[in-house]
Amino acid sequence: MKPDWDKLGVEYGKSKNILIGDVDCTVHQGLCGENGVQGYPTIKYRTKDGKWEPYNGGRDFNALKQFVDKTLNTGPSCSLAALDDCEPWERTIMETGSKMTKSELKAKIAEFKATVDAKRAEAKKLDKEAKQLEDELAVWEESGNKPEGVDQLISDEEFRAHCESRTCALAFMPHILDDGAAGRKSNIAMMEKARKANKADGGPPMGFMWVQGGDNFDLEEKLGLQFGFPALVVLNLKKEKFAVYRGVWDQGDITRFVKKPTGLAPLPKIPAFVSSAPWDGKDAASGDL
């Protein structure tokens, strides 16, 4: 019965004359006793003279609604005969409309109907546009579900997007002039193997990024990377913790460090990463410094 009773409450939820309510008799025992409630559920309705009478009809939604419509006053409480029951805006319309001629009122009603129809058409159009935008949003979101990898850190915005909500492993690679394309690709491949190993072992979701060492001098000093490159840092912005790998640049040791960083310390306030151009995968052009 409860679903049908709740549905009945929604049906008359905006009515000023009808209130569909319920009382928990295990909490309000006195009130239920005063009104002669002996079994559950008990339905009572209030008559015009203020008396509470038992309802003994059907208890499905249709039977309940039929009884309410037939027995109780479901009509609008605001009318010319009961202006005191009107809201201020309702009373204004009532008084204005009552002073109009039949033809004037007919024209006014037609005008309002046209406005309502136009607004409904507009709402339907907006709803259609919103649905299209929702579909496009879903596609935009899906477009970001590309396979994870070791991404180049080209801006502070990219760093935040990758690392704001998860732990990140950041590799500071030697300058392209020092290591060349082959050396850089080898170092990136080592980070990729560490990433795959962490994922295969069921490690926590992590972001993996690399940046050219020396391009962020102040930030690198804050993290204590004065010993040179390549260097590896694991950090968590939310927990404000970080750890620097200080061992030999070896695949096995790097992989173990990524899985279980040692030497965790409070993360200092670091400056923003400088922006850099995406690496083209080649050696430095002749004459580059």
**Cα separation of 41 and 113, whole Å?**
44
- Please tell me the predicted confidence (pLDDT) of residue 146: 74
Domain boundary among 17, 40, 71: 71
Strand pairing report for 206-212 and 265-266 = unpaired
Please report whether residue 99 resides in a domain: no
**Cα separation of 132 and 152, whole Å?**
34
Domain boundary among 53, 71, 89: 71
Please count the CA atoms within 13 angstroms of the CA of 120 that sit on its side-chain side. 6
Residue found by looking up tokens 């805006």 in the block:
89
Pair 261, 158 in one domain:
yes
How many angstroms separate the Cα of 238 from the Cα of each of 66, 165, 210, 255? 59, 7, 20, 23
Please report whether residue 259 resides in a domain: yes
Q: What is the pLDDT of residues 276-288, one digit of tens each?
A: 999 999 998 765 5
* Global pTM value: 0.56
- Domain harbouring 167, CATH code: 3.40.30.10
Please report whether residue 96 resides in a domain: no
Please report whether residue 51 resides in a domain: yes
Examine the pLDDT at 272 and tell me if it is beyond 60.
yes
- Please tell me the predicted confidence (pLDDT) of residue 286: 63
Please report whether residue 288 resides in a domain: no
Q: What is the pLDDT of residues 89-113, one digit of tens each?
A: 999 999 999 999 999 999 999 999 9
Please report whether residue 17 resides in a domain: yes
Q: Total structural domains in the chain?
A: 2
Domain range for 64: 2-71
Domain boundary among 71, 100, 127: 71
- Please tell me the predicted confidence (pLDDT) of residue 215: 96
Q: Which of 58, 28, 62 is nearest to 43 (CA)?
A: 58
Examine the pLDDT at 75 and tell me if it is beyond 80.
no
